[in-house]
Structure 1
């Protein structure tokens, strides 16, 4: 496996040349006090160093060893505890945290790159701080001042970690069916009882305490999702002097044996009258948890991107070194027994697919992160618009990036040929690790339904118009003749997305099943169109650049590849989406 190298040049290109992050930060008063370009560059360089030197080397052995379970205790793979300690001491656990409680308060445009680096280095490792960061976000927004003071400060310091406890054996996506109960006590605490499954980082040895955010219902709560509340349940009680007390009635019953992410502890967690504390309002727990879940969904999308980048770096190095066969147009390396794999058109197709999709995903991820920053720190109409775009783009970021990430890890494996199928090269690990990203934090089918049924149909198409109007304004402003090779197909794709949206909304008026049948295709049409938008922006900057000609020429040529070979995927997806529900529902159950 190639040594992982953080694509810092591409990240800086996106931040400062394409999206003008430094100017944006200075226009938002809260961020202007926290970050400037020099600070941001230092942060990214520091994170790159720890990702490359401390975390990436753990990945292979972490996969081989995994986590071990013994009488309720989970031990992480060799080196993980030391690496996490180094990571926490570097302040990385506080990067996006609330400054009032010890966090650094960095913008999402920076923390998204931080997440990508961790995921490229080792997805399993990234999950431990990732879950803590997400829980911290939910607690910072919805928790009481007492809870934030006691728990957030230690979470940001890396002393304590966190988990998110939603799923039960009978209740996955349908959280309204959960059975975990919370009984109120005289001291305003609650006794939480129930069993949760598939709990990432539910138990481990990286920190001295673990803070569980648990969904539960009071005995008299309303049925369904309207009766769900959120509780903070620590593994160990915390004494009044902030020291660790006795263990709470929380235990790990077992760990799952999984296809991938072997070094991430996936636990069955038992709560047996465990003492917990309400986060937010009673029966409003799902809204509180969605603060964390939306953060995690974007983070899972970035997992797909991170793995795809690692796959590309591995496959590119291998293709350059491996000699096999001769070019169809004549010998390219006469002094060697064969030419490199790079002379073969199909190998170039796979590598360029990965390159174009990775760089497009990174740009689109940065665009979504920018909207998050504006929604969080902006004001007025710009804030409202950004908030709408975040709602629209979150399911796309999760599902589209992970679908493409899995595609790219499989493509990388294919470049390796038989060597990609054996463990010593590490490529098959990426395939296994990435596969879960299409499933957890809401399966990609659920994300597609969230986009089309809830966001698009639920707003009667108004949310889509926010995005379409921005793209069309960009198209109208682009007068550069050299850009027309990108602008015209972008305009066509935008019109086709608008037409498909209108078609599906109309069809759903007479047959609601149309939405479920077309949702997956629709999400991908939207994803490829949004990626075309950011690829046009990257091409525009690179066409005008006078420095680093090799980098910018690569951008322009990769943009051409995207528009000529990848954006046309939309055509078959649109045909499929418009084919209607009859092909799926005219087959009786007994005919399956």
Structure 2
């Protein structure tokens, strides 16, 4: 029998990813003004076709490959030439042409520009091989220069937000080092001021090792380095703008600068579980020139906009991977037959129940993430003083996201690997939990969050949804508030999906572990030293501490 003979699996139909999305069209209809919707929705519908016809084939095709590095030329000279695939470069160009991150800074739609841009990203990200990693850092660097830059850095800023791939540049973010990981207080990289003036800012020589650079093919990076030798913690750090090559913008008559022209050396490319097309490297800075951004010794505060922005990109990334997996699973269910070909999966009660559970998760997380996205847009356009409550709530909600995502040829395997790796970039769950705790300690932040929750509840005071489970749900999970907010709008507007939207809230409250999450919080509050000791024994074994080799030798 030839391989083409016999049973062949039916290909699942691939349709416009925007029009078939179970969440995004309705969500945007609710939160976008009519004049904005009239321009944004047709563009998203166009993009929905492009994802299927252009972006998906590019992301999964032969043009997309792992990067490589040539560290020495044929004469034994150090060159550190980084080679990325044609597919990767084309994908970056597509992102820039689609306006990511340009949309956020053109602000054609004011505070809704963030919603528009991230809606595009949600549709694209599952097929882009994590090209939005460098684009997220480019967004963060642009925001830092918008806040702290000067007239001279305006050219850098303009190129970061350019839609023209021929002029546009991308940025990296160098924070992670060997001693500390996410703990920047242990940063070893030092910065020594030079007796040299530059229009970008004060010039420093940087020396150190950056253990994880996720956009090594970028033209610039922002990086933390220690400027106060007397302070070994985070307070002695400053933020720098670093060109990967010098000069940063050579004239057309000048040769292309060497990859090591700013004394930045690639130790090796990382061998990662996912994000294979993305060039991630270990770098050493050996007398690298950097330009001070923001106040001296205030680097952590200066880089916070980058962290907040990349965390939101990371959240949308995880939702986007879940969106694609759900899209494929739901579509395949319409063509796959079981029970000797007598039953479509879409008619299997058990299978449909599982798809409904995944869809429920996607709905909850997408509403939560876009709630944060909307807040970010409002704060950037109105400023902290123009919307203090929004700023406080944004501070608390930014670290509050976690998405679970779940085959190789159909993209599931890569989606799992990419999403898992990408989540780590923005801090572990523990790091994000600590960040949330710090935010909640500010009474203004908590007050703002509670006031918003009460406003949503009041809007439902006369509707049948507010029963005891709903009230408990509203009190404990932010995602439920956003689902509730959407259901309130849907019910009031008498949309076609109003019953589904209400049912989503009820199921999220009753059937998907939220009551268990509340019980976990209660148990944690009631736990004492005895539980802590038992945890240690469970993790490390009961009995006295293990003795070391030196102690064994004495016996």
Partner residue in 2 for 1:321: 335
Match status 1:535 vs 2:486: no
1:13 is matched with 26
1:54 and 1:83 in contact (8 A); partners too: no
Q: 1:537 to 1:590 in 2, by over 3 A?
A: closer
| Alignment partner of 1:153 is 2:161 | no
Partner of 1:201, secondary structure, is coil
Alignment of 1:85-104 (within 5 A): 85-97=93-105
Pairwise mapping of residues 383-462 of structure 1 onto structure 2 (< 5 A)?
Answer: 383-397=387-401, 400=402, 402=403, 405-406=404-405, 409=406, 422-452=407-437, 454-456=438-440, 458-459=441-442, 462=444
8 Å CA contact 2:207, 2:284 repeated in 1: yes
SS in 2 for 1:182: strand
1:577 equivalenced with 2:524 (yes/no): yes
Contact 1:108/1:370 (<8 A) preserved: yes
Matched, 1:294 2:294: no
* Residues in 1 aligned to 2:193 and 2:386: alpha-carbon distance in whole angstroms: 42
Cα RMSD of the aligned pairs, angstroms, is 3.0
Who is 1:41 aligned against?
Answer: 41
Alpha-carbon distance between aligned partners in 2 of 1:351 and 1:300, rounded to the nearest angstrom:
24
- Cα deviations across residues 393-438 of structure 1 (Å, max 9, x unaligned)? 01103xx2x3xx33xx2xxxxxxxxxxxx42232222222211233
**Conserved? CA contact 2:58–2:64, under 8 Å:** no
**Contact 1:118/1:126 (CA < 8 Å) preserved in 2?**
no
Deviations 1:305-346 (CA, angstroms, capped at 9, x unpaired):
011101111111223322234xxxxxxxxxx63323344454
Contact 1:95-1:104 within 8 A present in 2 as well: no
CA contact (8 A) 2:223 2:242 kept: yes
Is the 2:140–2:309 Cα contact (8 Å) retained in structure 1?
yes
Superposition deviation, residue 278 in structure 1: 0.7
> Secondary structure of the equivalent of 1:79?
helix
1:563 aligns with one of 509, 522, 527: 509
Alignment partners' CA distance in 2, 1:228 and 1:468: 35
Query: Secondary structure at the residue paired with 2:224?
Result: strand
Conserved 8 A contact 2:59-2:87: no
Distance 1:389 1:380, change over 3 A: closer
CA deviation profile, 1:42-97 (whole Å, cap 9, x unmatched): 55345445444333223334798322233223322342223333443454442212
Q: Is residue 373 from structure 1 mapped to residue 321 from structure 2 by the alignment?
A: no
**2:66 is matched with which residue?**
66
In structure 2, what is the Cα distance between the partners aligned to 1:352 and 1:317?
13
Deviation of 1:354 after TM superposition, in Å, equals 1.5
Taking the aligned partners of 1:346 and 1:267, their CA distance within structure 2 comes to 45
Structure 1 or 2: more helix by fraction: 1
SS of residue in 1 equivalent to 2:277: coil
In the aligned structure 2, how far is the partner of 1:540 from the partner of 1:98? 32
User: Which among 129, 136, 156 is matched to residue 130 of structure 1?
Assistant: 136
Q: In 1, Cα distance between the equivalents of 2:181 and 2:15?
A: 35
Residues 424-460 of structure 1: per-residue CA shift (max 9 Å, x gap): 23222222221123322111111112213x122x22x
> Does 2:32 align with 1:82?
no
Q: Which residue of 2 aligns with 1:504?
A: none
Q: 1:307 corresponds to which residue?
A: 321
2-structure distance, mates of 1:541, 1:437: 33
Corresponding residue for 1:419? Answer: none
What is the rounded CA distance, in whole Å, between the counterparts of 1:264 and 1:380 in structure 2? Answer: 35
Cα distance in 1 for partners of 2:478, 2:112 equals 26
Task: Determine the structure 1 residue equivalent to 2:6.
Answer: none
TM-score normalised by length of structure 1: 0.77
What is the SS of the residue equivalent to 2:338? Answer: coil
How many angstroms apart in 2 are the aligned matches of 1:104 and 1:73?
A: 41
Cα distance in 1 for partners of 2:490, 2:392 equals 29
CA distance in 1, matches of 2:62, 2:507: 37
Task: Specify the SS of the correspondent of 1:306.
Answer: helix
Shift of 1:543: 2.9
Structure 1 equivalent of residue 545 of structure 2: none
Mapping for residues 227-376 of structure 1, pairs under 5 Å: 227-238=236-247, 246=257, 247-325=261-339, 337-376=341-380
Residues 212, 234 of structure 1: 8 Å contact kept: yes
Whether the 8 Å CA contact 1:166–1:196 is kept in 2: the answer is yes
Contact 1:167 1:196 in 2 (8 A): yes
Structure 2 match to 1:26? none
Cα distance in 2 for partners of 1:364, 1:323 equals 35
Distance across 1 between alignment mates of 2:372 and 2:281: 31
The alignment covers a number of residue pairs equal to 503
CA contact (8 A) 2:345 2:351 kept: yes
Is residue 63–residue 262 contact of structure 1 (8 Å, CA) maintained in 2?
A: no
Alignment of 1:493 with 2:458, yes or no, is no
Distance 1:270 1:571 in 2: 46
C-alpha separation between the residues in 1 aligned to 2:158 and 2:352? Answer: 49
Partner SS, residue 283 of structure 2: strand
Give the match for residue 117 of structure 1: 123
Instruction: Name 1:142's counterpart in structure 2.
Output: 148
Aligned 8 A contact 2:68 2:83 in 1: yes
Give the corresponding residue for 1:477: 459
Once residues 33 and 230 of structure 2 are traced to their aligned partners in structure 1, the CA distance between those partners, rounded to angstroms, is: 48
> 2: distance between equivalents of 1:346 and 1:575?
33
Q: Given the superposition, is the C-alpha separation of residues 343 and 137 from structure 1 closer, same or farther in structure 2, using an over 3 Å criterion?
A: same
What secondary structure does 1:395 align onto?
coil
Q: Secondary structure at the match of 1:192?
A: strand
Unpaired runs of 5+ residues, structure 2, are 1-11, 72-79, 197-201, 543-555
Which residue in the other structure is 1:519 paired with? none
What is the alpha-carbon distance in structure 1 between the residues aligned to residue 62 and residue 524 of structure 2? Answer: 42
Q: Cα–Cα, structure 1 residues 160 and 106, in superposed 2: closer, same or farther, change >3 Å? A: farther
Classify the secondary structure of the residue corresponding to 2:82.
Answer: strand
**Change in CA separation of 1:213 and 1:98 when aligned onto 2, cut-off 3 Å:** farther
